[in-house]
Structure 1
Amino acid sequence: MKSIHFLHGEEAPIVRSREFPEPSMRINPKNHPKLSCLAQILLLLAFWQAGEAIVRLAHLPIPGAIAGMLLVLVLFTSGKVKLASMKRGAEWFLAEMLLFFVPAVLALLDHGEFIGIIGLKVLTVIFAGTIIVMGVTAIAIDFGYRLMMRQGASSHVQH
């Protein structure tokens, strides 16, 4: 920073010149882990709502949550979204998953009709659905692992 000297009309440096950094509105997630986790949970909820909107607009016969997960998968594979941008939020959901199932169990106790043959049918569907979800998840993880290994091998060849 310079000033113009009044007597000689020349530029002269200000003796006590100090540069001040521009104020930043960014929040460092390392200093605010709870705020970062909340932001990541909100981001996951935004993807869920985006999936719901896509399903409604396109009249797709799939749940909106699945469309949201596919959207996240596309963004992950394209590199537009990094895993770190959602890791804490996803870990919170996984850690607190039991809270999402307890209300369903309590509702089951309120309805005695689910204790008989209807309950057995529902349990069969739940058990079969769980096995199918676990199988599809294993296949998806295996596919992703093979894709990562293939990309890792091709990146070593390029260098």
Structure 2
Amino acid sequence: MNALLLKKFARLLIELAVLLVLFLLGGQLAVWFGWPIPGGVMGLALLLVLFASGILKPAMLQLGAGWLMAEMLLFFIPALMSLLDYGSLLRDEGWRILLVIAVSTLLVMVVTAVTVELVCRWSLRHES
């Protein structure tokens, strides 16, 4: 039983290391190319390329990604605490900020849905 836990913990660490390396490599690529793209976005693009090429399977990172998703709230606490420093801004411009958040969230959802639909149709067309 103890060996099983140790093996699972080692796998978790390896998967987290792979995700961290992709994040750091994405940031370094953005610096090298001079692109104004965050390292996380570049890292996700690299991960997508690895998934699409078959070099990496999603199941290979399932434990690490699942752990990060479970602990995601911890990553937002510093951002939420920084809002306390801008109380007057939120009182004056809060409705505009919420409007931008709502519209951008809706746009992301719509674009994601349309993209998934187009990729599914393209995939079905090229399977046969």
Compute the TM-score of the two structures, normalised by the length of structure 1: 0.65
Offset at residue 143 of structure 1 (A): 4.3
Deviations, residues 41-98 of structure 1 (Å, cap 9, x unaligned): 2211111111111111111132222111111111111111111221111112222222
Once residues 108 and 118 of structure 2 are traced to their aligned partners in structure 1, the CA distance between those partners, rounded to angstroms, is 15
Q: Which has more radius of gyration?
A: 1
C-alpha change, 1:103 and 1:29, in structure 2 (3 Å) is same
Ranked by relative contact order (alpha carbons within 8 Å, sequence separation 6 or more), the top structure is 2
Once residues 36 and 147 of structure 1 are traced to their aligned partners in structure 2, the CA distance between those partners, rounded to angstroms, is 35
Once residues 85 and 111 of structure 2 are traced to their aligned partners in structure 1, the CA distance between those partners, rounded to angstroms, is 33
Check if 1:76 corresponds to 2:51.
yes
Offset at residue 144 of structure 1 (A): 4.6
Q: CA RMSD in A?
A: 2.6
Choose from 3, 13, 19 the match for 1:38.
13
Once residues 27 and 4 of structure 2 are traced to their aligned partners in structure 1, the CA distance between those partners, rounded to angstroms, is 29
Compute the TM-score of the two structures, normalised by the length of structure 2: 0.78
Q: Percent identity?
A: 37
Gaps of 5+ in 1: 1-27, 155-159
C-alpha change, 1:66 and 1:140, in structure 2 (3 Å) is farther
Residue number in structure 2 paired with 1:67: 42
Once residues 36 and 148 of structure 1 are traced to their aligned partners in structure 2, the CA distance between those partners, rounded to angstroms, is 32
Q: Is the 8 A contact 1:108 1:114 kept in 2?
A: no
Check if 1:129 corresponds to 2:104.
yes
C-alpha change, 1:31 and 1:57, in structure 2 (3 Å) is same
Residue number in structure 2 paired with 1:88: 63
Once residues 139 and 95 of structure 1 are traced to their aligned partners in structure 2, the CA distance between those partners, rounded to angstroms, is 27
Count of residue pairs the alignment pairs up: 126
